[in-house]
Every structure is written in structure tokens, then in C-alpha cells.
Amino acid sequence: MIGLYGLVSGRVQGVGFRYFVRDCARHCKVTGFANNLADGRVEVLLS
């Protein structure tokens, strides 16, 4: 299994962003998780 780890920061505009990302991931058969960090960044692990 190949995995990708990353930290994401910035400002997300629009409440539909989570659903958009989820749908894109499902379409591409990507699995993983996202975790909100205390400093405002999001930690992601994709596989």
C-alpha cells in the first residue's frame, strides 16, 4: 500500500467543501483520514 501524509493549512471558503472532497476521494477510490490540529492545521493520511 502506498500512503501520503500531509499537513494542510489555509482558509476554506464554503460549507460544501468537505462533501466535495469526500466525493472526489470516493470517485478516485482514495481512503484515509483527516484530523483537526490545535493550531488550526489539518493532518491527513491518504492511501
The residue ranges of every structural domain in the chain are: 4-46
11 carries an active-site annotation? no
- Whether residue 23 contacts residue 17, with contact meaning beta carbons closer than 8 Å, is answered with no
pLDDT score of 11: 81
CB 4 within 8 A of CB 46: yes
User: Tens of pLDDT along 17-41?
Assistant: 778 888 999 999 999 988 989 998 8
CA atoms within 13 A on the CB side of 13: 0
Q: Using the predicted structure, report yes or no on whether residue 5 has a pLDDT greater than 80.
A: yes
Whether the full predicted model's pTM is greater than 0.75, yes or no, is no
11, 22, 26, 36: the active-site residue: 36
Catalytic residue among 11, 18, 22, 26: 18
Specify whether 36 is catalytic.
yes
- For residue 1, the model assigns a pLDDT of 63
Looking at residue 2, its pLDDT comes to 75
Q: How far apart are CA 41 and CA 4, in angstroms?
A: 16
DSSP state of 11: -
| Single-letter amino acid code for the residue at 23 | D
